[in-house]
Structure 1
Amino acid sequence: MHHASFDGSFAGWREVARNLVQHGIPPHQITWLGNNDSGGLFDQAPISLTSTVTNPAPRIPKQLLELLQSAAHFRVEDRWSLLYRILWRVAMGDRAAMLPGDIDGSQLHKRLKAVRREAHHLHAFLRFHPRPEDAEGPQLVAWHEPAHDILASASGHFAERLGRTRWLIATPDDGVYWDGQRLHYQRPCPSEWQRMAQTPEDTGEALWLAYYGSTFNPARLNRSALETSMPVRFWRNLPEGPLIPQLMSQARAGAQRDGQAETVARQGGKRIHHPNAKPPPINENDDLDRPD
């Protein structure tokens, strides 16, 4: 086995992979090493790509490169091996490797689906916290723990929606800072960014928690649906996350009969019925002609 070293980025992998295909080195002879990975005990010396090659550069569909770049965000030990195997097969004329029905293509499309879903999770479950008005740097900060490397590609969503507001998102691996005009991406994430994101000074959080708890409807609780739409792994990084188990426990303990939060149910006054609620049944003994 030979090992192919690169900087751990898709651009770095693409450059090395192109040269490997031109040198005619098949996938089963390569171990991919990105960043600080080290080779195995019986690996041969790193592949030298300085020798002259006579093979033409492979003609690869643009669509395939886009698919491979997206799939590269999927965190798994053999992420680069699968990508090179598909690249090699397509370069050799076997375009079935790109299709969901193929053994390699199936894995590719499963990874693409997981990456898209993780980007959706970033957009749906990230919570920004405001910083003091006199603080320098970002005005909003957020901490997130994605399962895949989607921060760089998916964070532009917030730049489009927050305009010139300066914000920062930090993760255990990387971080991105929007200065109001352009994105600054760092990998690994600077420790100062991580500190700001994990220890926000949000004076309005108590108000948000009170609002969230008061609008919770225990009568409509469906635990399995909740955990499907909002995976449990995100709860600890949501301000309202610690409230959710408590609210579910109250619902199971009888709060469902009220159809509203316990603190709201204890309030006095007339109940307001939902406009779509069915009217009460008419008693056959009622005199419909009797005036009120």
Structure 2
Amino acid sequence: MITVRFDGSFEDWRNCARTLLQDSIAPHEVSWTTSNETAGLFDNDLPAPATRAKKPIRVPRQLLDELEMAARFRVEKRWSLLYRVLWRVAQGDLAARLPGDADGSELHARIKAVRREAHHLHAFLRFSPLANDDGIQHVAWFEPVHDVLPWAAEHFAERMGENSWMIATPDDGVCWNGNDLVYARPCPPAWQQRAMNTVDPGGALWKAYYESTFNPARLNRSVMENNLPVRFWKNLPEGALIPELMSRAQAGAQRDGQAERVAEKAGKRIGRAREGSG
């Protein structure tokens, strides 16, 4: 068994995979290990590249894009599947990329999960304004289940213009100064502390808005939790309200079309417009 040690990035994995392919080393002979993992007792490190000329490895560009996307999926031995698919395609077995194939099915399932997690980051991340002297104007804390941050954060760089911001997670972080996106892994503790301890002054207003627009008559718990997973509630301003609002709905509030305090208001009568009025 050959142990391949790399830094955990897709770029370094790709370089190592190219060497393995050129040396005709099959997937079952390889064990992938990031730099901070301990070697096994009977593992042998990847041998140094031979000096002889080797034929180039040619695979579809789209396959590399698919492998890079799937590499963001957090799972034990995530790199073994990627090399197995790459090996099979390099050997001429193009079925390895197809959803009907066992490896291809797992590959596309991981890609789908990564894209969905990126959507979650775009939809459920909340920036809080920050007043300080270091130039950062907004901060946010997020807890993704896959390594989507450096890729998905480009969404905010495109939409927030020159406004500076920072996103911190338990594993990594990004900072935008209005021109450049800086990525850090591991996330600096100072970034994490700032993102987790910043209080949004508009949080109370947002909660009032959410409660007033919550419609218990249309509550479907399974659909709601599918579109807004429970794991995100703790980091959303309205998250603390959701269990109570759902409880009210199940206790009979579904007969109202609005939240309780809104339904109790008398409202305002709108007079009939006079004929000929503009």
User: Bigger shift: 136-145 or 165-174?
Assistant: 136-145
Contact 1:19 1:49 in 2 (8 A): no
Deviations 1:173-205 (A, max 9, x none): 000011011100001001111011101132221
- For structure 1, which runs of at least 5 residues remain unmatched after alignment? 273-292
- Alpha-carbon offset, residue 270 of structure 1: 5.0
Deviations 1:59-86 (A, max 9, x none): 1111111111111000111211011111
1:6-155 matches, within 5 Å, as 6-43=6-43, 45-53=44-52, 55-132=54-131, 134-155=132-153
Aligned to 2:239: 241
CA 89–271 in structure 1, closer or farther in 2 if over 3 Å, else same: farther
Q: CA separation in 2, counterparts of 1:55 and 1:77?
A: 32
Q: CA separation in 2, counterparts of 1:106 and 1:49?
A: 34
Aligned to 1:281: none
- Alpha-carbon offset, residue 144 of structure 1: 0.6
Deviations 1:152-185 (A, max 9, x none): 1111101111111111111100000110111000
Q: TM-score, normalised by structure 1?
A: 0.89
The one-letter code matched in structure 2 to 1:17 is A
Q: TM-score, normalised by structure 2?
A: 0.93
Say yes or no: does 1:211 pair with 2:209.
Answer: yes
Give the aligned CA root-mean-square deviation in angstroms: 1.5
Contact 2:19 2:49 in 1 (8 A): no
Contact 2:128 2:138 in 1 (8 A): yes
Q: CA separation in 1, counterparts of 2:59 and 2:29?
A: 21
How many equivalent pairs are there? 270
Aligned to 2:276: none
Runs of 4+ in 1 over 4 A off after TM superposition: none
Max Rg structure: 1
Contact 1:22 1:53 in 2 (8 A): no
Q: CA separation in 1, counterparts of 2:96 and 2:267?
A: 66
Q: Give the secondary-structure state (helix, strand or coil) at the position aligned to 1:251.
A: helix
The one-letter code matched in structure 1 to 2:145 is A
CA 135–203 in structure 1, closer or farther in 2 if over 3 Å, else same: farther
